[in-house]
Amino acid sequence: MNSKIDRRITEILNKAEDRVPVSREEAMTLMGVQLHTRACYAIMETANRLSRAQFGNKGENHYHIGLNVEPCPMDCLFCSLTRKAGIFKEKIEFPLDQIVAWAKQAEQHGADGLNLMTTGTYPFARLLEVGRLLKTETAVPLVANTRDINHREGEALLEAGFVGAYHAVRLGEGRDTPFDREKRIRTIQVFRDVGLLWMNCVEPVGPEHAADEIVDLMLLARDFGAAYSGVMRRINFPGSPMERFGMISELEMARLVAISRLVMGDVPKAHCTHEPHTASLMAGANLFFPEVGSSPRDGRADTEKGRGTGIERCQRMQREMEWDPSLPSNCFEMKAANAAVVT
């Protein structure tokens, strides 16, 4: 019977509530707390309260548009869009009028941001072109999710109309992917240097990941000032080489969402989770990614017709959990204020 909360846990929760940064050792102590215990619900409750106070009950929705499908030669083990997975044989680029229609649909439904995702070898110039087009077609802030970039490319993103970039150092980076962790961190530094918001998630979490590997990425996000950094679980597409490890449950994701929320302290503007589900909305998460176009978790080219959750459903889940998607975004408020000063 887990009736008592360890004094050490209570001390860490009090510290987190007072916005004193949680140390690595304290984060590891939280990671040792099991599901279904009173202590675990205390962690979730504290994270929930912290987020509601800091984000003012705003439910955020950053609309993911996957611009293209390809058998990607980067062959990240967890991704369905790889050459090795063999699900997609042809390159597909969604037509510009389809992308504009998705963006307008997002805007009509009150999306707070548009995340444009590309596969590993998508031409950077093309991403800029899409950015410039959407900048004229919608007023929704643009976020790029693409390969590693240098300062010149970072400035080009800004000029094309992007205000932020999603870029995660993935769990198993360099082992399950061909990418260099340090290079990915250098890209995050580029965003900071040129003035792009950096968006992040600890991902893609599976049952095989050790607590210290997960905590490492939580601390990286806090240290580099991520605008948001919650938790996304790995989805095993049929035939995935990661299938043997299984997947974590939504409840386990909520436990990790809560711990990452406490680690992030007063740094973030929102706290994300993926795929959308309600458990994490009572554990500190307030940000969902509705999805259309390509997705590294799907066997369908357009995830809107597959696993992807639409924006109306995301907003309905948020309202049911008493987060209000109609409030103004906290993530992009600074950018909006800066733009107002400039004009």
Residues that bind ligand SF4 (CB under 6 A): 72, 74-76, 79, 81-82, 119-120, 177, 296
Kindly tell me which of 82 and 330 has the beta carbon lying closer to ligand SF4: 82
Min dist CB 198 to ligand SF4, Å, is 18
- The Cβ of residue 37 has, within 10 Å, a number of other Cβ atoms equal to 18
How many residues are listed for the chain in this entry?
Answer: 343
- CA-to-CA dists, residue 53 to 19, 69, 265, 277, 334, angstroms: 12, 40, 12, 21, 18
Q: Measuring CA to CA, how many Å separate 142 from each of 29, 68, 205?
A: 37, 17, 26
Nearer to ligand SF4, 5 or 124 (CB): 124
Nearer to ligand SF4, 43 or 130 (CB): 130
Dist CA 263 CA 254 (whole Å): 14
CA distances from 4 to 118, 279, 329 (A): 48, 23, 39
Task: Give the residue with the Cβ less far from ligand SF4, 168 or 262.
Answer: 168
Closer to ligand SF4 by CB, 164 or 296: give it: 296
Please report the sign of the dihedral spanned by the C-alpha atoms of residue 323, residue 326, residue 332, residue 335: negative
Judge whether 196 and 158 are in contact, CB under 8 Å. Answer: yes
| CA separation for the pair 158, 59 (Å, rounded) | 26
Q: How far is the CB of 177 from ligand SF4 (least distance, A)?
A: 6
Give the nearest distance from C-beta 79 to ligand SF4 in angstroms.
Answer: 3
**Nearest approach, Cβ of 273 to ligand SF4 (angstroms)?**
19
Q: How far apart are the first and last CA of the chain?
A: 61
Q: How far is the CB of 313 from ligand SF4 (least distance, A)?
A: 25
Given a contact cutoff of 8 angstroms between Cβ atoms, the answer to whether 227 and 332 are in contact is no
* Residue closer to ligand SF4 (CB basis): 81 or 202: 81
Q: How far is the CB of 210 from ligand SF4 (least distance, A)?
A: 21
